[in-house]
């Protein structure tokens, strides 16, 4: 049982690391086309290599096979034997997708089942020089690196060579190359034996791959060592002979060996030229290069971080939520006591309560921060999507991502990816014109789509802007009339801004033809309802010929909101403050009727009114007062007045879900516990507005 | 692991501990293992537009749990809440649920022979909440099929 547990622990680790590596692969591959620097190649290669090593260790053979082939291609790219072409980039990206798919099936316990024969074949064709198609491009021989031959001696940098030569002067420098047997079960044990022998005999100068990689079995079959030793050649040879499961090995004085055709097909696995040199004494000269490289590896490595299970953070958040409730409650009790008694102890209580209040808000802040993720995690998916889409549509598109470091709560991050992606696809598909079309109107051939994120008070504002053709409001109106959403007369009176709102209506698409990408008219309505479910707002502006801009305003967290407490028939409801525009006291006489619906004119704007009592079907004797409290709520451009009995106050509330037992209650999005310990319902403004429209 | 306890619905286990409560003058029972705790009646926040027997939500140590009114569920006349009114918190498929009863009287250990799964009574469509009837010295206790009673 414990063995099984251990394995699953490793699987989790593998999945976690694997996902990071896959993300690195995708990110860097995307940048590779425009910037095929050696440094970038190195990062990509390393990611593929790590994936291969760890999948092999876990026994995911398909996964390992695919990464192995990728590695081969990457190796050739790195050595400039072949150059990066779109075909190669596409193939590699397809591999990344397959790997991600395998990760999913591994997570669901099915193992690495995905079919990757096609891809492997494709990669092998690239390697053999076919399949690159017309774009076959062999890199010029500017770089000295060759894809064949013994990598080790040829890849020794001059510094290292000098250092080794120097060591040679001081004493015997031996060089041993091993090729382990195909079926070698515990490679690292064999490698370890060899390393120990060398270590006992003297000092290891070069270990390739480095010792860490050897320990983690991150090598195929081959490894080699260069070491100094006073020990006799014969004695050492006898020791090396004793290592089992070795297919072949060569042992000799360093320098003599490099010219000898050691093995039938010598193909050492070199991790990275700087890693070859991780041996301590000689490598000193190269630490600079190494540190430069590791700096580019990953941001997350810097600083001290701890991985924490998300469930634990959620739990912590819940506990803090309860603490917040109790804090409010104690504060209320304290205030009540202070009214009743004048006593030093009551004063002390008051002080302590306010201190607790401060600490709890700090605690809450900190835990909120711990749950924050940069929106980058969502943005990172975009370049790939835009690239693929642009390629498919034959468009030229430049994607600008701004403010990726903006942080927001995990719960929000999880749900905004898809809506954003949908808007982005729309911009690429419908917004940006074909390159020729753009040239004709005097725009640069390549369109620009900008996605930006920034904080604004307690919200995050995300904008998706394109410099495309904009939305033709006349066309939207026409479509809306055709779809029967509005009469022709009414449509003619609509302002552009109002007309644009039809974009969010289901069954309306302005794309002349339904494409694979979009234009089915489902989508924008779902996007809007998803955003609204989060308590966010979505808005768009568009200028024909200049472009379209979507802006989303989202709360930073879904766990705690500021709410306006109102009283309706002795029950307290919480209205999310994000949706509240203003509160008014309105005289009975000000209410007018349009189509038997109550409206009120506020500063010249006709605002529909909704009685909360009616929304929630609350009966009971209720004499119509002379004046009403009206809470004006806003959803995007729409305004609506909610008639409530009384305003109670403003408070931070922790959102609790309604029990499954109650199911979906229209107009109610959740519940919370107030300072007095009672439960209050959180009103779902979106649901109420929808309900009113019937 | 091998000797897993198999619960056979058709056979009422020999000795059962049952929480007995009163509702409109009659005694009802729920298996004790379904009962989480028994709390005093407290402020219940009504949830609009739900079934009439759903009384609303209560705060149970920071959690909000729904409360149903068994009187209304069983179409019994509504009654004033008294000092002895209680909420029995039980486990259900959709989490914890509170059940309002007139009073909780005792916890009884019922022997197998006391329990009568009267077919005539159980098959009556009006009495689908009834799992069985237990006879004690002085009265009858209706044993509830809790899942059925809580089904929305």
Q: A85: domain CATH number?
A: 1.20.120.160
Asked if residue A342 and residue A416 are part of one domain, the reply reads: no
Pick the residue with more confidence: B110 or A574? A574
Identify the residue among B64, B89, B92, B150 best suited for mutation to test binding to A, counting A beta carbons within 10 A and taking the highest.
Answer: B64
Could A616 and B48 be called an inter-chain contact, meaning their C-beta atoms sit closer than 8 Å?
yes
Reduced to 3 states (helix: H, G, I; strand: E, B; else coil), residue A249 is strand
Q: Is residue B120 part of a domain?
A: yes
- Bridging pattern class, strands B140-144 and B26-31: parallel
* The pLDDT of residue B39: 92
Confidence of residue B19 (pLDDT cuts 50, 70, 90): very high
Asked if residue A640 and residue A585 are part of one domain, the reply reads: yes
A71 among known catalytic residues: yes
Asked if residue A175 and residue A44 are part of one domain, the reply reads: no
Asked if residue A98 and residue A28 are part of one domain, the reply reads: yes
Asked if residue A161 and residue A48 are part of one domain, the reply reads: no
Mean pLDDT of A279-299: 38
* The pLDDT of residue A620: 66
Mean pLDDT of A587-592: 87
Whether residue A284 is predicted with pLDDT greater than 80 in this model: the reply is no
- Of the listed ranges A319-333, A603-617, B82-96, the least confidently predicted one is A319-333
Q: A257: domain CATH number?
A: 3.30.70.1110
Whether residue A548 is predicted with pLDDT greater than 70 in this model: the reply is yes
Q: Is residue A425 part of a domain?
A: yes
Q: Is residue A191 part of a domain?
A: yes
Nearest CA in chain B to A654: B62
Residues 6+ apart with CB under 8 A from A129: A82, A136
Domain total in chain B: 1
Distance of alpha carbon A208 from alpha carbon A210, whole angstroms: 5
- Of the listed ranges A517-521, A680-684, A687-691, the least confidently predicted one is A517-521
**Residue of B49, B64, B66 lying closest to A666 (CB–CB):** B49
Mean pLDDT of A280-289: 37
pLDDT digits (tens, 9 = 90+) for A368-378: 778 788 888 88
Residues 6+ apart with CB under 8 A from A337: A346, A349
pLDDT digits (tens, 9 = 90+) for A28-60: 888 887 777 888 888 888 888 888 888 877 778
Q: Is residue A542 part of a domain?
A: yes
* The pLDDT of residue A520: 44
Residues 6+ apart with CB under 8 A from A414: none
Nearest CA in chain A to B57: A679
Asked if residue A254 and residue A164 are part of one domain, the reply reads: yes
Distance of alpha carbon A661 from alpha carbon A657, whole angstroms: 11
Write the DSSP string, A54-85.
HHHHHT-HHHHHHHHHHHHHHHHHHTTSS---
Q: Is residue A324 part of a domain?
A: yes
Whether residue A295 is predicted with pLDDT greater than 50 in this model: the reply is no
Q: Is residue B10 part of a domain?
A: no
Mean pLDDT of A254-267: 47
Q: Is residue A377 part of a domain?
A: no
A49 among known catalytic residues: yes
Q: Is residue A293 part of a domain?
A: no
Q: How many residues does chain B have?
A: 152
A459 among known catalytic residues: no
ipTM of this model?
Answer: 0.81
CA distances in angstroms from A139 to A80, A84, A142, A143, A234, listed in the order given: 5, 9, 8, 9, 45
**Residue of B45, B48, B94 lying closest to A659 (CB–CB):** B94
Which among A26, A28, A49, A430 is annotated as catalytic? A49
* The pLDDT of residue A526: 77
3-state secondary structure B105-122: EEEEEECHHHEECCHHHH
* The pLDDT of residue A566: 94
* The pLDDT of residue B127: 64
Pick the residue with more confidence: A293 or B41? B41
Asked if residue A166 and residue A130 are part of one domain, the reply reads: no
Sign of CA dihedral A296, A463, A428, A450: negative
Asked if residue A346 and residue A205 are part of one domain, the reply reads: no
Q: Is residue B29 part of a domain?
A: yes
Q: Is residue A144 part of a domain?
A: no
* The pLDDT of residue A527: 82
End residue of a domain, out of A135, A167, A198: A135
B85 φ/ψ angles, rounded to the nearest 5 degrees = -60, 140
What is the domain extent for residue B140? 16-150
Mean pLDDT of A607-611: 89
* Percent of all residues in chain A with a pLDDT value above 90, rounded to a whole number: 5
Domain total in chain A: 5
- CB-defined contacts A:B, below 8 A: 78
The segment with the largest mean pLDDT, out of A554-558, A567-571, B113-117, is: A567-571
Q: Is residue B1 part of a domain?
A: no
Q: Is residue B92 part of a domain?
A: yes
Identify the residue among A661, A673, A674 best suited for mutation to test binding to B, counting B beta carbons within 10 A and taking the highest.
Answer: A661
Distance of alpha carbon A340 from alpha carbon A332, whole angstroms: 13
Mean pLDDT of A460-474: 88
Distance of alpha carbon B6 from alpha carbon B64, whole angstroms: 33
The segment with the largest mean pLDDT, out of A240-244, A498-502, B17-21, is: B17-21
* The pLDDT of residue B119: 58
Q: Is residue A383 part of a domain?
A: no
Q: Are B21 and B99 spatial neighbours (Cβ–Cβ below 8 Å)?
A: no
Nearest CA in chain A to B45: A679
Q: Are A244 and A187 spatial neighbours (Cβ–Cβ below 8 Å)?
A: no
Q: Is residue B2 part of a domain?
A: no
- Of the listed ranges A99-113, A445-459, A539-553, B45-59, the least confidently predicted one is A99-113
* The pLDDT of residue A290: 39
Distance from CA of A9 to the nearest CA of B (A): 23
Q: Is residue B5 part of a domain?
A: no
CA distances in angstroms from A541 to A544, A546, A550, listed in the order given: 10, 11, 7
Asked if residue A549 and residue A572 are part of one domain, the reply reads: no
End residue of a domain, out of A555, A590, A612: A555
Q: B109: domain CATH number?
A: 2.40.50.180
Q: Is residue B24 part of a domain?
A: yes
Write the DSSP string, A174-195.
EEEEEEE-TT-S-HHHHHHHHH
Q: A416: domain CATH number?
A: 3.30.565.10
Rounded to the nearest angstrom, the gap between the alpha carbon of residue A1 and the centroid of all alpha carbons in its chain is: 35
What is the domain extent for residue A180? 151-286
Pick the residue with more confidence: A431 or A686? A431
Q: Are A258 and A151 spatial neighbours (Cβ–Cβ below 8 Å)?
A: no
Query: Which residues of chain A does B87 touch, with a Cβ-Cβ cutoff of 8 Å?
Result: none
Which among A28, A65, A69, A71 is annotated as catalytic? A71
The neighbouring-strand residues paired with B64 are B59
* The pLDDT of residue B68: 92
* The pLDDT of residue B99: 93
């Amino acid at each position: 049982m414990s063995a099984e547990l251990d394995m699953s622990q490793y699987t989790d680790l593998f999945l976690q690391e694997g996902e990071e590596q896959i993300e690195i692969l995708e990110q860097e591959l995307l940048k590779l086309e425009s910037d095929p620097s050696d440094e970038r190649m190195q990062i990509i290669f390393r990611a593929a290599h790590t994936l291969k090593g760890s999948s092999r260790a876990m026994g995911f053979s398909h996964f390992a096979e695919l990464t192995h082939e990728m590695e081969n291609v990457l190796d050739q790219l790195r050595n400039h034997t072949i150059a990066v072409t779109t075909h190669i980039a596409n193939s590699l990206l397809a591999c990344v997708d397959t790997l991600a798919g395998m990760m999913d099936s591994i997570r669901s316990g099915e193992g690495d089942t995905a079919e990757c024969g096609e891809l492997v074949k494709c990669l092998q064709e690239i390697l053999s020089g076919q399949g690159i198609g017309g774009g076959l491009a062999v890199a010029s021989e500017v770089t000295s690196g060759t894809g064949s031959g013994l990598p080790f001696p040829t890849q020794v940098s001059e510094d290292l060579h000098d250092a080794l030569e120097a060591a040679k002067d001081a004493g015997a420098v031996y060089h041993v190359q091993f090729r382990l047997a195909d079926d070698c079960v515990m490679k690292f044990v064999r490698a370890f034996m060899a390393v120990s022998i060398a270590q006992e005999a003297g000092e290891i100068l070069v270990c390739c791959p480095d010792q860490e990689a050897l320990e983690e079995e991150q090598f195929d079959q081959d490894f080699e060592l260069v070491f100094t030793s006073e020990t006799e050649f014969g004695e050492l040879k006898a020791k090396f002979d004793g290592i089992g499961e070795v297919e072949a090995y060569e042992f000799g004085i360093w320098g003599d060996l490099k010219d000898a055709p050691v093995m039938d097909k010598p193909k050492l696995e070199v991790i990275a030229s700087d890693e070859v040199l991780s041996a301590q004494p000689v490598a000193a000269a190269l630490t600079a290069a190494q540190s430069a490289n590791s700096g580019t590896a990953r941001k997350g490595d810097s600083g001290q971080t701890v991985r924490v299970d998300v469930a634990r953070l959620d739990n912590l958040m819940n506990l803090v939520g309860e603490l917040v409730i109790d804090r409010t409650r104690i504060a209320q009790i304290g205030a009540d006591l202070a009214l009743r008694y004048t006593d030093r102890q009551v004063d002390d209580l008051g002080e302590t309560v306010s201190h607790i209040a401060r600490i709890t808000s700090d605690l809450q802040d900190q835990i909120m921060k711990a749950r924050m993720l940069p929106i980058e995690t969502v943005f990172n998916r975009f370049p790939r999507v835009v690239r693929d889409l642009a390629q498919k549509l034959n468009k030229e598109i430049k994607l600008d991502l701004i403010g990726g470091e903006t942080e927001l709560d995990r719960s929000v991050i999880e749900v905004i990816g898809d809506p954003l992606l949908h808007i982005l696809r729309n911009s690429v598909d419908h917004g940006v014109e074909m390159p020729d079309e753009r040239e004709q109107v005097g725009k640069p051939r390549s369109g620009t789509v900008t996605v930006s994120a920034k904080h604004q008070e307690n919200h995050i504002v995300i904008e998706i802007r394109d410099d495309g053709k904009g939305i033709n409001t006349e066309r939207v109106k026409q479509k809306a009339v055709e779809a029967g959403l509005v009469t022709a007369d009414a449509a003619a009176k609509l302002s552009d801004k109002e007309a644009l709102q039809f974009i969010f209506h289901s069954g309306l698409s302005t794309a002349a033809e339904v494409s694979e990408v979009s234009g089915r008219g489902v989508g924008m309505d779902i996007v809007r309802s998803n955003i609204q479910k989060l308590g966010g707002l979505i808005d768009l502006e568009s200028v024909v010929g200049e472009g379209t801009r979507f802006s989303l305003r989202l709360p930073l967290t879904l766990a705690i909101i500021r709410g306006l407490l109102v009283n309706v028939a002795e029950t307290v409801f919480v209205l999310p403050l994000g949706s509240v525009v203003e509160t008014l006291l309105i005289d009975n006489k000000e209410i007018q009727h349009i189509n038997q619906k109550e409206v009120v004119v506020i500063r010249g704007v006709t605002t529909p009114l909704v009685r909360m009592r009616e929304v929630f079907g609350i009966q009971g004797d209720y004499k119509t007062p002379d004046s009403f409290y009206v809470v004006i709520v806003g959803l995007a451009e729409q305004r609506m007045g909610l008639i409530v009995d009384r305003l109670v106050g403003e408070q931070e509330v922790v959102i609790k879900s309604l029990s499954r037992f109650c199911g979906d209650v229209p107009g109610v999005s959740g519940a919370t516990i107030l300072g007095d310990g009672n439960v209050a319902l959180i009103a779902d403004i979106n649901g109420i507005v929808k309900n009113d429209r019937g | 692991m091998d000797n897993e306890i198999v619960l056979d619905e058709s056979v009422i286990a020999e000795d059962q501990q049952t929480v007995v409560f009163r509702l409109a003058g009659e005694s009802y029972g729920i298996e004790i293992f379904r009962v989480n705790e028994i709390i005093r009646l407290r402020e219940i926040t009504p949830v609009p537009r739900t079934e009439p027997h759903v009384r609303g939500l209560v705060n149970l140590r920071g959690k909000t749990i729904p409360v149903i009114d068994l009187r209304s569920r069983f179409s019994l006349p509504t009654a004033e809440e008294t000092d002895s009114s209680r909420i029995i918190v039980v486990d259900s498929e959709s989490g914890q649920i509170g059940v309002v009863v007139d009073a909780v009287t005792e916890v009884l250990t019922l022997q197998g022979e006391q329990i009568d799964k009267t077919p005539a009574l159980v098959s009556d469509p009006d009495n689908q909440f009834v799992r069985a009837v237990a006879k004690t010295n002085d009265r009858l206790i209706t044993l509830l099929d809790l899942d059925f009673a809580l089904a929305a």
